[in-house]
Every structure is written in structure tokens, then in C-alpha cells.
A = this chain, B = another copy of it.
Amino acid sequence: MTIIVLRLGHRYVRDDRTTTHLFLAARAFGADAAIYSGRRDPEVEESLIKVNATWGGNFELAYSPNWVRTMEDYKSKGWKLVHLTMYGTPLQGIIDEIRSSPSNKVVVVGGSKVPRKAYELADWNIAVTSQPHSEISALSVFLHELFKGEELSKPFPGGELEIVPQAKGKRVRRKGLVQGPSQGPMAS
């Protein structure tokens, strides 16, 4: 199952750090790629390229000038759309249903104001708690539940460095064999 995160309404400069954190979380918690709409932002894109180069894996990032079309395109190809919103159905009651759907999925993550269209196009509108918090935490906990925690051990082949876990302190190891990234989910 391929998972792509779709970030709506990125605002240049103002959202730099939250959008970068969101994509780093998407990558770390097992999503295959992300697409964002709103203002195109070279700084966010370069951050992700650097993280892949240093820490490995095949996470891809693309820009879409039209998120409605992106949602409709994936839907027409048989993907399922999950929209994360504090107004939706509680995660804990619906995650089994989502997990058992074999379709590829787009996980839609809003900005400050999400148009009604996103709610309508989504196959599921999901609340990770009905309290206000952060799209970064909502996405992370959603992916963690979707993958049942197995994403915590996901390998990131290639790259230059890897961490050697320590009870105290830091240890980083240079990878012996630098592998090129393999074909990613949006290559075809």
C-alpha cells in the first residue's frame, strides 16, 4: 500500500517550519511521498532533498498548483482519500476499517481553513482527538496507527549517515556503502 500525504494551502515563509516538520514526520513515519499546494517553496523542497541525501530512503516531494484536481485524479485511479480534521470521525473507531482497505491512500492535511470540498471528496474525515493541536501530531499518530507501530523500525537505505542508538549521548555512523535511491512511488 502506497501512502502519499497531501498538504493543502502552504503559505510562503509563514508555514516554512511547520510544513517542513510535517513532511519530515511523513517521511519518518512511513509515508512514501508528499504533495503540497498553496505557494511553491524552494526552501521546504531543499530541506527534504538534504534529509534524503543525509539519512537515506526514497521519500519524494512534489508540488501541485491545484489540490482539488490532485484529489480527483487519485480518486479516479482508485486511491482512497483520508482527510485529517478535528471535526471528523474519531480515529480509534475507524482505523480498523481504513487499515483493512487494500487501496493506496492519500492522507490530506489542511492548512488553517480547509474548504468544504476537501471534506466532500474525502472517503474518510478522521479526527485524531477532537481537540485543537497540530497537523504534525495528527499525521504522525495517524500513520503510527495505520502501520501499527511497524513504521518505527522502517529502514532508510542509502544516505550518508545513520544513528547508532545510545542510552546516553549521541553516536552517528557514516554508512559504508552509499546506495542510490531506488524508483519511488511517483516515478511512473
Q: Which residues of A contact B (CB under 8 A)?
A: 17-18, 21-22, 24-25, 27-29, 51, 55, 57, 85-92, 116, 119-120, 122, 124-125, 127-134, 136-137, 139-141, 144-145, 149, 151-154, 156, 162-163, 165-172
Query: A127 CA to B162 CA in the complex, in Å?
Result: 13
A134 touches which of B24, B144, B149 (Cβ 8 Å): B24
Residue among A17, A55, A134, A167 having the largest count of chain B Cβ atoms under 10 Å: A134
**Chain B, residue nearest A116 (CB):** B169
Query: A158 CA to B158 CA in the complex, in Å?
Result: 51
CB <8 Å contact, B21 and A125? no
A27 cross-chain contacts in B, Cβ below 8 A: 131, 133
How many monomers of this chain does the complex have? Answer: 2
A122 cross-chain contacts in B, Cβ below 8 A: 168
CB <8 Å contact, A88 and B166? yes
**Chain B, residue nearest A57 (CB):** B131
User: Can you list the 10 inter-chain pairs with the closest CB atoms, starting with the nearest?
Assistant: A137-B140, A21-B134, A28-B133, A25-B137, A130-B163, A28-B131, A87-B170, A24-B133, A136-B136, A25-B133
CB <8 Å contact, A92 and B153? yes
CB <8 Å contact, B140 and A29? no
CB <8 Å contact, B136 and A134? yes
Residue among A51, A132, A139 having the largest count of chain B Cβ atoms under 10 Å: A132
Query: A92 CA to B167 CA in the complex, in Å?
Result: 14
A87 cross-chain contacts in B, Cβ below 8 A: 163, 165-166, 169-172
